[in-house]
Chains A and B, each alone.
Chain A
Amino acid sequence: MNVRWETYLGAVGFLMLLGAHYVGLFVAPPEAMMGDVGRILYAHVPTAWVGLLTYLVAFIAAIGAMLTGKAKWDALVEASVEVGLLLNVLLLIQGSLWAKPTWGVYWTWDPRLTTCAIMVVGFGVVLALRKQIDEPARRLTISSVATIVAFVNVPIVYMSVKWWRTLHQNFSSPETVDSAMVTPLRVAAFAMLFLSTAFVVRRWRLAVAQLTLEFDGPDLPAPSAPLAVED
Chain B
Amino acid sequence: MKTTLDILYKDMLIEWRARSRTVALLSFAYTILLLFAFAIGPDAAALRHHAGAYLWLGLLLCSTLLLDRSMRIEFEADAVSKLLLVPVSAPGLFYGKAIANSVQLWIVGLISIPMVIVICDATITEHWAWLVLTIFLGGAGLAAPGTLYSAMIARLSGRQLLLPLMLFPLVVPVVVAAVKTTSLVMLGDPMNQAGSWLVLLGCFNLIYWSLCGVLFGRVVEA
Contact = CB atoms under 8 A, between A and B. Distances in A.
Interface of A: 66, 118-119, 121-122, 125, 128-129, 132-133, 137-138, 141-142, 145-146, 148-150, 152-153, 156-157, 159-161, 163-164, 226-227, 229-231
B78 A128 contact: no
A146 B152 contact: yes
Interface stretch (B16-24, B108-116, B126-134, B161-169): B161-169
Interface stretch (B48-56, B99-107, B172-180): B172-180
A131 to B, nearest CB: 9
Interface in B167-214: 168-170, 172-173, 176-177, 180, 197, 200, 204, 207, 211
B166 A125 contact: yes
Interface of B: 72, 75-78, 145, 148, 152-158, 162, 165-166, 168-170, 172-173, 176-177, 180, 197, 200, 204, 207, 211, 215, 218-219, 222
Nearest to B207: A156
A149 B215 CA distance: 9
B69 to A, nearest CB: 12
The majority secondary structure among interface residues of chain A is helix
Contacts of A152: 207, 211
B157 to A, nearest CB: 4
Contacts of B219: 141-142, 145
Contact of A150 (B155, B158, B169, B215): B169
A171 to B, nearest CB: 18
B173 A156 contact: yes
B53 to A, nearest CB: 12
B72 to A, nearest CB: 7
